[in-house]
Amino acid sequence: MKAITTATLKKWKQEGKKFASLTAYDASFAATFESQGVPVMLVGDSLGMVLQGHRDTLPVTVEQIAYHTRCVRAGAQKALIIADMPFMSYATREQAFESAAALMQAGAQMVKLEGGEWLLDTVRGLTERGIPVCAHLGLTPQSVHQFGGFKVQGRDSEQANRILEQAKGLEQAGASLLVLECIPSALARHITESLSIPVIGIGAGPDTDAQILVMHDVLGITSGYIPKFSKNYITEHGTIQAAAAAFVREVEEGIFPAAEHGFE
């Protein structure tokens, strides 16, 4: 696999080539995923739940994300590495600059932030300073208490229009990627078609430019609950390598996600 950059992903969108992404938290899994063709990995604040055992992502710190980013970068030399900006690590522009610098210095090539209008100045400031940004709309886990739980977003027309306008605003502010989580498939398709930057979906239907899943769900390492939008690949394919390769292949061929993995 050649080194993956933001330019690579934008070219793939222009060509209509879908791509897969997985979360990763250490060197061994990162190396394994890269060997099976996973081009993008996210060091997600999901580590608070899947590694640390918390109920949500809120306790995760910048230092913890930086540590795991260094581990992932050690294992994956060519994949594009995105690092999550944890809860309240970008409440102000200055705080965002400091947090992003720490994550980029740890080996990330892009940082991910959750939120819409209030982040536009921050996104501009980061991109002006040479830090690529992945925006995140829909079900944003750091706002779980505001939403009243992990609930699908954008089902009514007012909320759907707001998410669409936020997506356009974030692109104009300089975001290089957008993650859409747990929104209706039709809305995700409309947003994907409206933007020139690649859109990565999770629980957002089959029509986004890419798909991302938490590695623990793909490998069946869960407490028994598998989200509707996910798929356990290990049961069918037997090994971690084969599971990762199957996920990549099914995303590229448009097999995953199927209709049952999305929301109306």
In a domain, 190, yes or no: yes
Supply the pLDDT for residue 195: 98
Task: Print the domain residue range for 223.
Answer: 6-261
User: Omega before 257 cis (within 30°)?
Assistant: yes
| pLDDT string in tens for the chain (264-residue length) | 899 999 999 999 999 999 999 999 999 999 999 999 999 999 999 999 999 999 889 999 999 999 999 999 999 999 999 999 999 999 999 999 999 999 999 999 999 999 999 999 999 999 999 999 999 999 887 766 565 555 788 999 999 999 999 999 999 999 999 999 999 999 999 999 999 999 999 999 999 999 999 999 999 997 667 889 999 999 999 999 999 999 999 999 999 999 999 998
* Active-site residue identified among 94, 98, 128, 181: 181
- 181 included as an active-site residue: yes
Q: Average model confidence (pLDDT) for the chain?
A: 95
Supply the pLDDT for residue 219: 95
In a domain, 1, yes or no: no
Q: What CA–CA distance (Å, rounded) separates 192 from 35? A: 29
Supply the pLDDT for residue 125: 98
CATH number at residue 25: 3.20.20.60
In a domain, 143, yes or no: yes
Contact call for residues 98 and 135 (beta carbons, < 8 A): no
252 is in an annotated binding site: no
156 is in an annotated binding site: no
In a domain, 45, yes or no: yes
Query: For 58-101, how does the pLDDT look when each residue is reduced to its tens digit (9 = 90+)?
Result: 999 999 999 999 999 999 999 999 999 999 999 999 999 999 99
Contact call for residues 233 and 219 (beta carbons, < 8 A): yes
- The predicted model scores a pTM of 0.95
Which one, of 27, 5, 81, 42, lies nearest residue 215 by Cα?
Answer: 42
| End-to-end C-alpha distance for the chain, whole angstroms | 36
Supply the pLDDT for residue 143: 65
Tally of structural domains, the chain = 1
Q: What CA–CA distance (Å, rounded) separates 261 from 248? A: 16
In a domain, 209, yes or no: yes
Angle at 138 between CA 217 and CA 192, to 5 degrees: 95
114 is in an annotated binding site: yes
In a domain, 78, yes or no: yes
Q: What is the DSSP string of 164-195?
A: HHHHHHHHHHT-SEEEEES--HHHHHHHHHH-
